[in-house]
């Protein structure tokens, strides 16, 4: 039985509603919210060169240090002109005086009347010139250039600050540093950026039957596919620093030792296996014997019902079921939002899109079903249609591997008919 200690449970970002584990299944969204509530956001930050910051989480709001573009620049190779000099009706012929290329200093040179300036893309446009005519639109002859139409003032000039003003708000705290956001920081004068330190995540694969991929199997053994799955999914998250504790047998002492080590080293502990009801399922009891607490012990989802959510020491704990599809769904739906919250990300929820079922499905009394599915076409209205790949097959590896994502079939006492609108989370 879990010990009740409210101070323990309030170490997360928000206070838990109760210190004791609930045995009645909670809805998947509630379970995810509880995991997020137990997740303490990393507060330490580090300053990184932009080249090393891809995929990290911005630690604070950032302002631009210079305008973008920093000066009025030509957008074309051609001729800079003063539109006020286009008197009467054309064509207009001007003397070419001077030359500006990208990298030249913005000079305050004086130019005589009826002159045009040879200019190239990216070069500073000197004061007084207010348009650039691209070279394909003019006729150059010796020192003269002829224009057949009058350019509008401002034409082909990128004005200083038109993209980003100086000291403008650039990016908000908690944003993921994607390539385009890093490019924006670079253009706006930043060479370094303050990011949240990485979340240290412990992975433990429990199960006496497990052998590593590639190892020969004796009778009764299976390969540890969950470790590969979780490592690969976390490898996509550059804000995560994984400490992989490998396989631990279904032995309470070994598990206790491993959990204690992981709790000292990491912000979050993710285990697989050993969370259901059998005598060899030690994860929940060992966690509680070690001073940990569970807040959620059953979730109204299929697969994934026995997933466990709690804390041990300063660490978030999520015990994923061992069946591969259950591990996949509970990691994406419950563990990942909490880990993203710990990383300081503002956006933590899985991305979903509406789709139409190309299949019917039995009633899901009281639980949400997460079904691997594949796009199979579109309705006349253009909505994607999905085909189911396996019906709640928790132990399946092949269904998810051939799926485009996971369909959410909400709880209900009626069957879902073909042609029903449901949510779909693409991989
Ligand atoms: N009496 C009951 N039995 C079970 C229940 C229940 O409510 N009452 N729940 C079932 C459900 S649902 C699931 S899901 C599983 C969850 O089991 P555990 O989390 O305890 O996991 P194990 O028993 O250790 O393993 C289940 C299954 O998955 C295989 N496995 C485990 N780890 C891995 C791994 N790293 N890579 C690949 N495959 C793995 C393991 O060999 C088992 O076949 O419990 C049901 N039972
Ligand atoms: O719900 Mo378990 O997680 O199906 O096999």
Q: Which residue has the higher pLDDT, 180 or 393?
A: 180
Distance CA 6, CA 418 (A): 47
Alpha carbon 326 to its chain centroid, in Å, reads 22
Longest dimension (CA), the chain: 96
**Residue 320 in contact with residue 270, Cβ under 8 Å?**
yes
% of the chain beyond a pLDDT of 90: 88
| pLDDT band at residue 51 under the 50/70/90 scheme | very high
Q: Give, for ligand 1, the residue of 306, 334, 392 to mutate: max count of ligand atoms closer than 8 Å to Cβ.
A: 306
Ligand 1 neighbourhood includes 226 CB (under 6 angstroms): yes
Atom of ligand 1 nearest to the CA of 394: 14
pLDDT reported for residue 279: 85
- Average pLDDT value for residue range 163-176: 97
- Average pLDDT value for residue range 288-298: 96
- Average pLDDT value for residue range 228-238: 97
- Average pLDDT value for residue range 188-207: 98
- CA 322 – ligand 1 centroid, Å: 4
Distance CA 242, CA 73 (A): 46
Q: Give, for ligand 2, the residue of 273, 274, 394, 399 to mutate: max count of ligand atoms closer than 8 Å to Cβ.
A: 394
| pLDDT band at residue 110 under the 50/70/90 scheme | confident
Distance CA 409, CA 423 (A): 8
Give DSSP secondary structure letters for 372-423. EEEEEEE-TTS-EEEEES-SS-TT-SHHHHH-SEEEEE--BSSPBPTT-EEE
| pLDDT band at residue 11 under the 50/70/90 scheme | very low
Average pLDDT, the chain: 93
Q: Which residues' Cβ are closer than 6 Å to ligand 2? A: 302-305, 321, 323, 326, 394
In this structure, the number of other CB atoms found within 10 A of the CB of residue 172 comes to: 11
pLDDT reported for residue 417: 96
Alpha carbon 166 to its chain centroid, in Å, reads 28
pLDDT reported for residue 361: 93
- CA 268 – ligand 2 centroid, Å: 23
> Tens of pLDDT along 265-276?
999 999 999 999
**Residue 342 in contact with residue 39, Cβ under 8 Å?**
yes
Residue 288 phi/psi, 5-degree rounding, is -70, -40
- Average pLDDT value for residue range 59-82: 97
- CA 48 – ligand 2 centroid, Å: 42
- CA 323 – ligand 2 centroid, Å: 7
Ligand 1 neighbourhood includes 392 CB (under 6 angstroms): no
Domains with residue ranges and CATH for the chain:
6-42+198-342 (3.40.980.10), 51-65+169-195 (no CATH), 73-158 (2.170.190.11), 353-426 (2.40.340.10)
Ligand 1 neighbourhood includes 277 CB (under 6 angstroms): yes
Lowest mean pLDDT segment, chosen from 45-49, 150-154, 176-180, 387-391 = 387-391
| pLDDT band at residue 65 under the 50/70/90 scheme | very high
Ligand 1 neighbourhood includes 160 CB (under 6 angstroms): no
Whose alpha carbon is nearest atom 4 of ligand 2?
A: 303
- CA 289 – ligand 2 centroid, Å: 25
Matching residue, tokens 């000039």: 157
pLDDT reported for residue 77: 98
- CA 134 – ligand 2 centroid, Å: 66
Residue 133 predicted with pLDDT over 50: yes
Residue 404 predicted with pLDDT over 80: yes
Residue 30 predicted with pLDDT over 60: yes
pLDDT reported for residue 109: 72
pLDDT reported for residue 391: 60
Q: Give the ipTM.
A: 0.97
* Residues in contact with 282: Cβ distance below 8 Å, sequence separation at least 6, in sequence order: 206, 250, 251, 252, 255, 274
Whose alpha carbon is nearest atom 2 of ligand 2?
A: 303
Structure tokens at 426: 């693409």
Distance CA 150, CA 55 (A): 48
Whose alpha carbon is nearest atom 5 of ligand 2?
A: 394
pLDDT reported for residue 1: 33
Q: Give, for ligand 2, the residue of 275, 326, 334 to mutate: max count of ligand atoms closer than 8 Å to Cβ.
A: 326
> Tens of pLDDT along 323-351?
999 999 999 999 999 999 999 999 999 99
Ligand 1 neighbourhood includes 126 CB (under 6 angstroms): no
- CA 396 – ligand 1 centroid, Å: 12
| pTM confidence score | 0.91
Ligand 1 neighbourhood includes 326 CB (under 6 angstroms): yes
pLDDT reported for residue 94: 97
């Amino acid at each position: 039985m879990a010990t009740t200690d409210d101070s323990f449970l309030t170490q997360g970002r928000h206070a838990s509603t109760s210190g004791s584990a609930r045995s009645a299944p909670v809805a998947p969204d509630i379970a995810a919210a509880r995991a997020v509530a137990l997740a303490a956001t990393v507060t330490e930050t580090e300053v990184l060169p932009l080249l090393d910051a891809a995929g990290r989480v911005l630690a604070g709001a950032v302002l631009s240090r210079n305008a973008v573009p920093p000066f009025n620049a030509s957008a074309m190779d051609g001729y800079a002109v003063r539109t006020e000099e286009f008197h009467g009706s054309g064509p207009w012929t001007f003397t070419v005086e001077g030359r500006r290329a990208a990298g030249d200093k913005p000079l305050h040179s004086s130019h005589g009347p009826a002159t045009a300036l040879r200019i190239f893309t990216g070069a500073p446009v000197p004061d007084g010139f207010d348009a650039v005519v691209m070279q394909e639109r003019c006729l150059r002859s010796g020192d003269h250039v002829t224009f057949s139409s009058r350019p509008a003032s401002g034409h082909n000039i990128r004005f200083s600050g038109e993209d980003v003003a100086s000291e403008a708000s650039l990016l908000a705290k908690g944003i993921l540093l994607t390539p385009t956001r890093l490019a924006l920081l670079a253009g706006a004068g930043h060479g370094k950026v303050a990011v949240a330190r990485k979340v240290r995540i412990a992975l433990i694969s429990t199960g006496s039957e497990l052998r590593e991929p590639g190892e020969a199997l004796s009778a009764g053994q299976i390969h540890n596919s969950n470790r590969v799955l979780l490592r690969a999914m976390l490898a996509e998250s550059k804000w995560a620093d994984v400490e992989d504790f490998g396989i631990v047998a279904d032995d309470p002492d070994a598990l206790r030792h491993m959990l204690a080590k992981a709790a000292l080293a990491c912000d979050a502990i993710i285990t697989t296996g050993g969370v259901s009801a059998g005598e060899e399922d030690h994860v929940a009891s060992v966690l509680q014997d070690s001073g940990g607490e569970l807040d959620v012990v059953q979730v109204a989802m299929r697969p994934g019902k026995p997933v466990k959510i709690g804390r041990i020491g300063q660490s978030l704990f999520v015990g994923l079921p061992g069946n591969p599809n259950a591990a996949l769904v509970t990691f994406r739906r419950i563990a990942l939002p909490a880990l993203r919250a710990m990383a300081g990300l503002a956006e933590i929820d899985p991305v979903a899109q509406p789709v139409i079922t190309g299949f019917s499905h039995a009633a899901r009394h009281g639980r949400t079903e997460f079904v691997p599915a594949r796009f199979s076409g579109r309705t006349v209205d253009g909505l994607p249609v999905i085909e189911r790949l396996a019906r709640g097959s928790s132990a399946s590896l092949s269904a998810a591997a051939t799926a485009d994502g996971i369909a959410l079939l909400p709880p209900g006492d009626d069957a879902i008919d073909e042609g029903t609108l449901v949510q779909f989370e693409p991989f």
